[in-house]
């Protein structure tokens, strides 16, 4: 296993990855079993949302139906909480794959083997993609399983598309963090770039409905392409998904280019 960079990277992440996936199952259980309490107040909550001023209604994501589990998940779970946990995991592991190993001095040992820098980057990126898609799959399976146990109807297919969308968002930020590490060799810088970009673009996307001059900038944020079409309710927008995939490919290409041309710090 250690002779393959892809498998070695997955092995190095096995403990943190297992904890993250287990935590995901616990969180999905909490959300699903909380829903019946929310559903009892669904009529009042729906009326409150519908009577919000137009600007605040846009900020909330439009009219939301709290009487269905998919509506509740779209409004409360996939809008804020999921992006946070996927962003944090993506940045931690994206910055650790190159910059983290370089700071520990293990990257030089890896590159002393007959393996090219390009292959190392591609294998590590592939491990990040697998880990994040495993997270989105676990998210979907957890929600489906707990909903079945609780006897709550759920739109499984559209939920799967929403989970795929959050996986693509996580991959984008993981590769952004990887690109920062490949270019600088510093984990703090790479994670700071990715987290800063995540917070800034989230705020731009969130407040664009309230601030007119932010509206054009919304199209440049990954969060718009993640949730702009409400994939949990309406299915995955293939154009939006394509933008996230294309941007991730560009970041991966930059990572290869930057890493090939930089001297290691250790």
Average pLDDT, the chain: 87
Report the pLDDT value the prediction gives residue 144, as an integer from 0 to 100.
96
* Residue 64 pLDDT exceeds 80: no
* Residue 141 pLDDT exceeds 80: yes
Report the pLDDT value the prediction gives residue 1, as an integer from 0 to 100.
43
* Residue 53 pLDDT exceeds 70: no
* Residue 130 pLDDT exceeds 90: yes
**Average pLDDT, integer, range 216-221:** 91
Nearest to 77 by CA among 33, 109, 108: 33
Residues whose CB falls within 8 Å of the CB of residue 81, separated by 6 or more in sequence, listed in order: 27
Confidence of residue 159 (pLDDT cuts 50, 70, 90): very high
Measured in degrees and rounded to the nearest 5, phi and psi for residue 264 equal -70, 150
Rounded CA separation 46/44 (Å): 6
* Lowest pLDDT segment from 58-67, 88-97, 180-189: 58-67
**Average pLDDT, integer, range 145-172:** 94
pTM value?
A: 0.91
In this predicted model, what pLDDT tens digit does every residue of 95-120 receive, in sequence order? Answer: 988 888 888 888 888 887 888 889 99
Rounded CA separation 224/203 (Å): 11
In this predicted model, what pLDDT tens digit does every residue of 5-44 receive, in sequence order? Answer: 888 888 888 898 899 899 999 999 999 999 998 888 767 7
> For residue 214, what is the DSSP state?
G
CA distances from 239 to 169, 243, 244 (A): 14, 6, 9
Measured in degrees and rounded to the nearest 5, phi and psi for residue 51 equal -90, 5
Nearest to 177 by CA among 80, 79, 98, 110: 98
Structure tokens at 160: 């799967």
Provide the sign of the torsion angle of the four alpha carbons 181, 89, 73, 47, taken in this order: negative
- In our burial notation (b when 16+ CB lie closer than 10 A, e otherwise), range 199-231 reads eebbebbbebbeeeebeeebeebbbbbbbbbbb
**Cα 100 to the center of its chain, rounded Å:** 20
Report the pLDDT value the prediction gives residue 2, as an integer from 0 to 100.
47
Report the pLDDT value the prediction gives residue 114, as an integer from 0 to 100.
83
Report the pLDDT value the prediction gives residue 51, as an integer from 0 to 100.
64
Report the pLDDT value the prediction gives residue 254, as an integer from 0 to 100.
96
Structure tokens at 214: 């932010």
> Would you kindly state where each structural domain of the chain is located, as residue ranges?
5-35+79-261
């Amino acid at each position: 296993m250690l002779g393959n960079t892809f498998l070695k990277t997955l092995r190095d992440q096995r403990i943190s990855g297992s904890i993250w996936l287990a935590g995901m199952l616990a969180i999905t259980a909490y959300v699903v079993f909380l829903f019946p309490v929310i559903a009892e107040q669904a009529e009042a909550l729906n009326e409150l949302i519908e009577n919000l001023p137009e600007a605040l209604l846009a900020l909330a994501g439009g009219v939301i139906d709290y009487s269905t589990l998919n509506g509740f998940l779209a409004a409360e779970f996939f809008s804020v909480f999921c992006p946070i946990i996927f962003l944090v995991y993506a940045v931690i592991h994206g910055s650790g794959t190159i910059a983290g190993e370089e700071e520990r001095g293990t990257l030089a040992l890896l590159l002393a083997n007959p393996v090219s820098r390009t292959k190392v980057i591609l294998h590590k990126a592939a491990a990040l993609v697998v880990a994040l898609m495993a997270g989105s799959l676990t998210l979907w399976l957890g929600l489906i399983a707990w909903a079945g146990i609780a006897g709550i109807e759920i739109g499984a297919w559209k939920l799967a598309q929403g989970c795929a969308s959050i996986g693509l968002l996580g991959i984008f930020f993981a590769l952004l963090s990887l690109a920062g590490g490949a270019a600088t060799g510093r984990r703090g810088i790479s994670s700071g770039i990715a987290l800063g970009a995540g917070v800034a673009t989230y705020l731009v996307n969130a407040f664009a409905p309230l601030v007119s001059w932010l509206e054009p900038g919304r199209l440049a944020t990954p969060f718009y392409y993640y949730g702009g079409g409400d994939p949990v309710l309406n299915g995955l927008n293939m154009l939006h998904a394509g933008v996230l995939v294309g941007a991730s490919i560009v970041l991966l290409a930059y990572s290869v280019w930057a890493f090939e041309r930089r001297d290691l710090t250790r």
